[in-house]
Structure 1
């Protein structure tokens, strides 16, 4: 039985919600998964790891016929998106560390087979924008535009019809990336990954929140697994 206090669990909750949303591909589905996790006894782990473990246990089990398997996706998200070391990720999934290391290697290799999509980057810092472009193209995707303002983002989205959007929140004089995304999504349904230095500010349980959030600074693998999950819309691997 976990002896974590309520304040400790509340501090860890935004990270569990981010993890659940990355698994499911949507705010509502991810939050439902967290609610299901909280309705069961938490394992005897530190609060943040305990919440991750409960979410992983509550997630639907499936076996992939292509791309990363369910276990590999959990490990990739835990290590790349949630920044856990392999040992902690293994504890979350209740598997030996050696097995976790093998599955992680296999999962990274499987990412290379991800289906390519057209990506719109919304970022006002030219160096960061070009770095994002380089990284997503290394994952096999195509960058069809880079926007530095709300107006430019909306215009490019209408003209290029991207399959995925990578968006910063603060666009400086160009406005707000979340506002640009909201305007774009009024006209089309497209998955979005927000890249921000303050992910907890987007996970407050108030109003509409993103399904995918990457923390700045990020590792290339974090971007790779997030784009994979977003393109797949978080759907479970085929059985």
Structure 2
């Protein structure tokens, strides 16, 4: 199997990581493209002693270290401007560790390899990131989920994180009505809803009324991470871990201007 075939499966998830780390689909996708170009230009340097996914993320982080800050500074509008205000309060390495372990599912050992450190420091960085982001953010959450047990589990997780659940909706129409009534500051949305409607369409209708960060939940992430626009910046795969939801909420709120400290 060629290197390209080895890496192809992992690219949608690398795009997810790049977008979450930068807070921008534009910047994240551009840095991923630069990563692939660098690998193609020098395939002999691609590590063969680790899993291809590790090698791919390591190559991306090399690009990120070189160009990430400049890329964000060059487009410091909207989400990027919000990110810069938050980045003044939390350093990038804790966020890298948080995303690698809790969203991307790397072990602490793998994250240590990617970040050129050790497991103990990774675990400390993750704890620091979670604590700092939680201090900065608080949300009113709309949950769009048609499976009662999953909805209850998410509601409990959201409450445990110190956020308020303003409503739970199971259909497209319920979701739109709840959003208009409660004006949530975060939406957690399943893709397939009870009336066979689509959570993505419900969110699109909500976004015509006001801007709100959204995290999609699906059993089939590859159907959404296709490289086409628009794509969700924050995506959780079913079955999910509580820590994954926690990390995704923290990152989504990280780029939301409603909770940026003055």
Match status 1:101 vs 2:106 = no
State the match for 1:122 in structure 2.
144
Q: Which moved more, 1:143-152 or 1:107-116?
A: 107-116
Alignment equivalent of 1:27, drawn from 25, 28, 52: 25
2:205 aligned with 1:183, yes or no? yes
Residues 133 and 254, structure 2, Cα contact 8 Å, conserved in 1: no
Match of 1:215 in 2: 237
Structure 2 Cα separation of the partners of residues 143 and 137 of structure 1: 7
Partner residue of 1:51?
56
**Residue aligned with 1:40, SS:** helix
In structure 1, the partner of 2:9 is 11
Higher relative contact order (CA 8 A, sep 6+): 1
Separation of aligned partners in 1, 2:223 and 2:58: 23
TM-superposed CA distance for 1:216, in Å, is: 1.4
Structure 1 residues 92 and 198 mapped into 2: Cα distance closer, same or farther (>3 Å)?
same
CA RMSD of aligned residues (A): 2.5
Query: Contact (CA 8 Å) 1:17, 1:31: kept in 2 or not?
Result: yes
Say if 2:192 and 2:199, in contact at 8 Å, map to a contact too: yes
- Counterpart pick for 2:132 among 110, 120, 124: 110
| Partners of 1:138 and 1:107 in 2: CA distance | 17
SS in 1 for 2:142: strand
TM superposition shift of 1:111: 4.3
Work out whether 1:80 is the aligned partner of 2:102: yes
- Report the Cα offset of residue 148 of structure 1: 0.4
Deviation string, structure 1 residues 139-187 (Cα, Å, up to 9, x no partner): 1111111110001111111121111110000113251101101111122
Gaps of 5+ in 2: 40-44, 70-83
> What is the TM-score normalised by the length of structure 2?
0.81
Task: Output the TM-score relative to the length of structure 1.
Answer: 0.88
Indicate conservation of the 8 Å contact 1:4/1:46, yes or no: no
- The alpha carbon displacement at 1:65 in A equals 5.2
Aligned residues: 234
The answer on whether the counterparts of 2:213 and 2:256 sit within 8 Å (CA) in structure 1 is: no
Q: Is the 8 A contact 1:124 1:174 kept in 2?
A: no
Is it true that 1:158 corresponds to 2:180 in the alignment?
Answer: yes
Corresponding position: 1:233 with 2:255: yes
SS at match of 1:39: helix
The Cα shift of 1:85 comes to: 0.7
CA deviation string 1:210-236 (max 9, x = no partner): 01001112222211121111112289x
Where does structure 1 lack aligned partners over 5 or more consecutive residues?
A: none
Counterpart-to-counterpart distance in 2, 1:110 and 1:4:
42
